[in-house]
Amino acid sequence: MEEKMALPKRRHSHSRTRTRRAHDALVAPTVSTCSDCGEPKLPHRLCSGCGSYKGRSVVKLQEDELD
């Protein structure tokens, strides 16, 4: 038996496609600097460079993780 799938009744305009894509732009993430080690980090996240958050050490990193 032949497979049936729903198809759009008519194509939509370039304008409609472009209007939809108006919200598709990529935005660069906001980057702040760690107050402990100065590495770039995401705000409200612990630092991946030294494992600290709000000035205190939260996660003890292993030696091979530190660079």
Nearer to Zn ion, 3 or 67 (CB): 67
Q: Is residue 61 at the binding interface for Zn ion, with CB under 5 A as the rule?
A: no
List the beta bridge partners of residue 56.
Answer: 53
Q: Are 42 and 30 in contact (CB under 8 A)?
A: yes
Considering the rule CB under 5 A, would residue 46 count as an interface residue with Zn ion? Answer: no
CB of 10 to Zn ion, least distance (A): 56
Q: Does the footprint of Zn ion cover residue 49 (CB under 5 A)?
A: yes
- Binding interface with Zn ion (CB under 5 A): 34, 36-37, 39, 47, 49-50
